[in-house]
């Protein structure tokens, strides 16, 4: 089975508040991730599975998606866009694209999730069970921060428990669903609806057939700085699945037009964007440098994002932090433990340390 006969919807309308300040100027699904906008990795997975027609549910910075992808031909897809002037939430966003859908079964994705799951199997399981909705579920060591979805021995969903302290199962909602199109059409129109908190629980209460499809493939939600950095490194190292990596998998991805000193150490799935400059003796480990960023001589950048044009000067140390576009980290500054520097902020040269809570 190739999924030519399945439309896909990708929800990309969220504000991405957890990724501020990077998402102040760029929608989360368009943030550069292992050399291309994150969404390109997801769309490449859809195309590989044979999906042809994809509808993007946009809201925040809606026009930037159209500008970036147009009709989708460059990605080998037919792309359409439906924008919400006021955000309608995840369920409302799915309902809002209903009139553009052409197939009886529809794949729906959160636009910030990357998974290695076999989409053909998920759709096959949905059809075999004649389900109304099938959810891709993954097992995680600590399910408390996610939506927990326990199932019975044949995969029937038993409950939807959002972010509970005492989850009865380690299975969580992975942000990928197969819907019968009629189920989408029955979601209330023109008001905000949460698919996780409202649509799924009310379908379950009404006796709908809701299935879970569990697998152990790669899965990551790229919604936090930690996950963006880690996920990007996984893509660069070939641990996360993508047909869109713009180079061979390895310790580092250096985009055209970047200059890296021969004695700089660049490891851990680091990405160096176009026009970046990395000076002698610098050490980059699991770093994500957007275009035009620079790292001075002897500076260290670990598990951190440098926004467009951000500068880390000589001898500075940046760990587990986010440096906004064009911001400057002065010589010998040390940043760690979740520091976020807003765009254009200049930290003068210093010898002191900053860390979260200080």
Sites of contact with ligand GTP (CB under 6 A): 11-18, 28, 57, 59, 84, 87-90, 93, 110-112, 223
Pairing status of strand 219-221 against strand 113-115: antiparallel
**Could you tell me the smallest distance in angstroms from the CB atom of residue 281 to ligand GTP?**
36
Of 112 and 234, the one with the shorter C-beta distance to ligand GTP is 112
Of 88 and 101, the one with the shorter C-beta distance to ligand GTP is 88
* Other C-beta atoms lying within 10 Å of the C-beta of residue 169: 17
Of 10 and 316, the one with the shorter C-beta distance to ligand GTP is 10
- Side-chain-side CA neighbours of 29 within 13 Å: the count stands at 28
Nearest to 232 by CA among 284, 275, 274, 287: 287
Alpha-carbon distance of 94 to 89, in angstroms, equals 9
**Could you tell me the smallest distance in angstroms from the CB atom of residue 75 to ligand GTP?**
18
DSSP classification of residue 5: G
Of 177 and 290, the one with the shorter C-beta distance to ligand GTP is 177
Of 18 and 100, the one with the shorter C-beta distance to ligand GTP is 18
**Could you tell me the smallest distance in angstroms from the CB atom of residue 128 to ligand GTP?**
28
**Could you tell me the smallest distance in angstroms from the CB atom of residue 14 to ligand GTP?**
2
**Could you tell me the smallest distance in angstroms from the CB atom of residue 94 to ligand GTP?**
8
Of 113 and 122, the one with the shorter C-beta distance to ligand GTP is 113
- DSSP lists the bridge partners of residue 58 as 83
- DSSP lists the bridge partners of residue 259 as 277
Nearest to 111 by CA among 213, 47, 45, 42: 42
Alpha-carbon distance of 19 to 224, in angstroms, equals 6
Task: Provide CB contacts within 8 A for 119, sequence distance 6+.
Answer: 3, 45, 46, 49, 51, 107, 176
**Could you tell me the smallest distance in angstroms from the CB atom of residue 44 to ligand GTP?**
17
């Amino acid at each position: 089975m190739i999924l030519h006969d399945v439309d896909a919807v990708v929800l990309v309308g969220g504000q991405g508040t957890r990724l501020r300040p990077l998402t102040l100027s760029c929608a989360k699904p368009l943030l550069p991730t292992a050399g291309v906008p994150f969404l390109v990795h997801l769309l490449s997975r859809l195309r590989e599975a044979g999906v042809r027609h994809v509808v993007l549910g946009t809201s925040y910075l809606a026009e930037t998606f159209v500008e970036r992808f147009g009709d989708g031909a460059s990605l080998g897809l037919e792309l359409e866009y439906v924008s919400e002037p006021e955000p309608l939430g995840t369920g409302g966003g799915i309902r809002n694209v209903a009139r553009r859908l052409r197939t009886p079964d529809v794949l729906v994705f959160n636009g910030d999730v990357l998974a290695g799951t076999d989409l053909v199997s998920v759709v096959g399981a949905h059809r075999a069970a004649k389900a109304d909705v099938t959810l891709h579920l993954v097992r995680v060591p600590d399910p408390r921060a996610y939506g927990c979805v326990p199932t019975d021995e044949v995969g029937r969903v038993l409950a939807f428990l959002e972010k509970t302290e005492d989850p009865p199962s380690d299975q969580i909602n992975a942000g990928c669903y197969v819907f019968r199109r009629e189920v989408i059409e029955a979601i209330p129109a023109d008001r905000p609806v949460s698919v996780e908190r409202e649509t799924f629980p009310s379908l379950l209460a009404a006796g709908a057939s809701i299935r879970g499809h569990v697998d152990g493939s790669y899965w990551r939600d790229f919604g936090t700085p930690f996950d963006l950095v880690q996920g990007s490194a996984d893509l660069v190292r070939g641990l996360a699945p993508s047909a869109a990596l713009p180079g061979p998998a390895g310790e580092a991805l250096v985009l055209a037009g970047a200059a890296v000193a021969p004695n700089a150490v660049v490891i851990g799935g680091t990405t160096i964007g176009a026009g970046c400059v990395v000076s002698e003796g610098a050490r980059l480990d699991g770093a994500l440098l957007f275009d035009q960023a620079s790292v001075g001589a002897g500076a260290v950048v670990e598990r951190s994002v440098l926004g467009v044009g951000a500068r880390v000067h000589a001898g500075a140390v940046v760990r587990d932090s986010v440096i906004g576009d064009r911001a400057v980290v002065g010589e010998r500054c040390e940043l760690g433990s979740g520091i976020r520097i807003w765009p254009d902020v200049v930290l003068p040269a210093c010898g002191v340390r900053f860390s979260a809570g200080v």
